[in-house]
Amino acid sequence: MNNNEDGKTKKRLPKRAEIPDQYKWRLEDLFATDELWEEEFRRVKTLLPQAEQYKGHLSESADRLLAALQLADEINRAVHKVYVYARMRKDEDNTCAKYQALSDRAQTLATQARSALAFLNPEILAIPEEILKSYLAENAALEVYRQAIDDLLRQKPHVLSQVEEELLAETAELAQAPANIFAMINNADIKFPTIIDENGEEIEVTKGRYIQLIESKDRRVRHDAFKALYSSYEKQKNTLAATLHASVKRDCFYARVRKYPSALAAALDEDNIPTEVYTNLIQAVRAHLPLMHRYLALRKKALGLDELHMYDIYTPLAPPAEAKIPYETAKEKVLAGLRPLGDDYMAVLEKGLASAWVDVYENEGKTSGAYSWGTYGSHPYVLLNYQENLDNVFTLAHEMGHALHSYYSNQKQPFIYAGYSIFLAEVASTVNENLLLHHLLQHTGERSQRLYLLNHHLESFRTTVFRQTMFAEFEKIIHEAVENGLPLTADFLCRTYLQLNRDYYGEEVVSDPEIAMEWARIPHFYNAFYVYKYATGFSAATALSMQILNDGAGAVRRYIDFLSAGSSDYPLVLLGKAGVDMSSPEPVNAALRLFSELLTQLEELLHIS
C-alpha cells in the first residue's frame, strides 16, 4: 500500500480490512460469531461451581475420581477454546479495544478455572498410592488418566497443600503481567523510524520488515534498519529491563515456593528433563564455537568486507534465483518439498493450505512473527507475516509442521494428552524445513542457488543452534543473578548480553554497541527456559529428517506415530521411540558435525578456505 507524502512514496502497512479474505484465517470455524463466544463464556462460568461438589470427596470412590477428572477436562477444553479465540482475534490487530477486552476476560476466566480446579492435584496426591492403583484397576474408564496420575505422583514433592495451590492459582493473572506489558509495548506501542530503502523510497521499519531490510544487498540500508530498530528499544530500555526483571522474579518465586533448587530445574521438571540436558547443550555448543567463528570469517571474506558488523550477518551470500516468491508459489514449493512424508501427511497438508488455516500477510497492529495454535476439536491455525522471499517459504513449512503435529495429536489422543510438550514442539517444524531444503538442493544445479541454499541452512544452524543456545545461556545467567539477590538493571542486562554476543560471534564480528539491546525485543524470554528447546529440537529434527530420507517408509511410520503421540509419554521417551536419544549430547554433536560438512561445501563453492 502506498501513499504520496511531500513528493515521496511512503510504504505503509495495510489495515486489517484491506487484506483480502482469501489470505485470512477463518476463526469463524471456532465461533461463528462473537455472540456464540459469549454464550460459551457464560457456560464455562456455570461449570466452575460444579467442581466444588468434588472437593474433599475424591478419595471416596473410583467413580468420584473419574467424574471430577472428566469435569476438569470439560472445563479446561472449553476455557482453552474461549481463550484461543479471543487471543487470536486480538493478534489480528492488537490496537482493537474490543478484542483487547475479550482477551483480558478470557485470561481472567482461565485464572478462575485454575483456581476452581486447584484442589484436584493436592487431593489426588493425598490418596494413598495403593488406593489410587486399585481405583485404576477397578474402573476401566480411569485408565486414560494413568500417565497423568503417574506424572503427578512423580512431581509430588513440589505440589503444595490445597489452600496453597488455590492461592497460587489466584496469582496466575498477576504473573502474566510482565509478558502482557511487554507484548503491548512490543506489538502496539513501540514505533520505529522510517528509512530510505534500496530504491530511494521512504519505508517505515517494522518488525515484520526488519529481516527483509537487514538482508538487503545495500549495506547502507542494513545499517540504517539496524540503527532504527535498536534506537527504538534503547529509548525504553529501563522500562523493558524492569519488565524482564519482574518476569524472572516470577519464575524464581514459583520455583522457590514449589521447593525446586532453581528456576531452571522447575522449568525442566514439567517435561521430566534433567538439567544436564540444558547444561550439556551449552557445553556442546560452546565447544563448537570455532566452527561458528570459521563460518563468520567465511562470510566476511565472501562479502568482501574489512569489518563484519552485526547488520552484515543476515544478508545472503548469493541472491536467490527468484527475487520475489508470491505466497501461492510458496505453497507449491512446500508441498513439493514435503512429499517424502507420505500420502496421508500430504493430504492433510493440502487441505490445511486450502481451507483458511493460515493468516498470511502483515497488517497494522498484527502480532509480529509467526506461530501455530488452535484448540482440541478444531483444525489448527497458523499466523504469518509473509514477505515474498525464500526465508518466508521456510517459515510456512516450519509453521505447517507445528500445525500437522497438532492435527495428528488431536486426532489420535484424548484431550488430556493432545497437547504435546514444548520440548518436542520444534521437532516437527524443523523436520519440514530440512526436507524442504533437501528438495530444493536436489532440484538445482545452479551455483548461485546452491550457494544461497547452503548459506540458508548454515544460517538455520547459526540462528537455531548457536544463537538460541546463546539466548539459553543468557536466561540461565539472569535467573541465577536474581536467585543470588542481584537486580536486573538495564546496564547489567546490556553488559551481560554484549559479552555473550562477543563470545558466540568471536573476533571476526564487530559486536556493535546496539546489539547489547537485543535482549529487549525477544518475546521468548517471558516464557522461561523455552529457547533451548529450539536447539535441542533442531538437533533431534536433523536426525529424524535424515532417517526419513534414508530409511523411507519405516522411518515415516515411526515419525507419524511420534506426531500422533501428543504428551502420552515423556518427551525423551517419545523421541527415543522415534529413533533419537536426546538424553545424550550425541544428537547435538552430530548436528554440529553436519554443520561442519555443509560449511566445507560452502567454502569449496566459494573457493575460500
541: left (phi over 0), alpha (psi -120 to 50) or beta: alpha
CA distances from 239 to 181, 244, 246, 439, 520 (A): 10, 9, 11, 46, 10
Q: How many Cβ atoms are within 10 Å of 609's Cβ, its own excluded?
A: 9
d(CA 197, CA 228): 13
CA distances from 496 to 239, 309, 477, 488 (A): 18, 19, 8, 10
End-to-end CA distance of the chain: 45
Strands 2-5 and 8-11: antiparallel
d(CA 395, CA 436): 11
Residue 186 CA from chain centroid, whole number: 17
Q: Are 419 and 566 in contact (CB under 8 A)?
A: yes
Q: H helices within 189-236, ranges in order?
A: 207-214, 219-234
Q: Are 148 and 73 in contact (CB under 8 A)?
A: no
435: left (phi over 0), alpha (psi -120 to 50) or beta: alpha
Q: Are 597 and 308 in contact (CB under 8 A)?
A: no
C-alpha cell at 275: 538439567
Q: Are 525 and 243 in contact (CB under 8 A)?
A: no
d(CA 478, CA 109): 32
d(CA 242, CA 174): 15
H/E element, 196? strand 194-196
C-alpha cell at 170: 489466584
373 bridge partner residues: 381
Nearest to 352 by CA among 84, 21, 26, 92: 26
Residues labelled as active-site residues? 399
CA distances from 295 to 204, 287, 361, 537 (A): 32, 15, 33, 22
Residue 82 CA from chain centroid, whole number: 21
Q: H helices within 462-552, ranges in order?
A: 467-483, 490-505, 532-551
d(CA 502, CA 464): 18
Q: Are 464 and 535 in contact (CB under 8 A)?
A: yes
CA distances from 151 to 15, 166, 171, 232, 582 (A): 47, 20, 24, 45, 20
State phi, psi for 304 to the nearest 5 degrees: 70, 40
Report CA Rg, the chain: 25
CA distances from 133 to 136, 337, 567 (A): 5, 48, 21
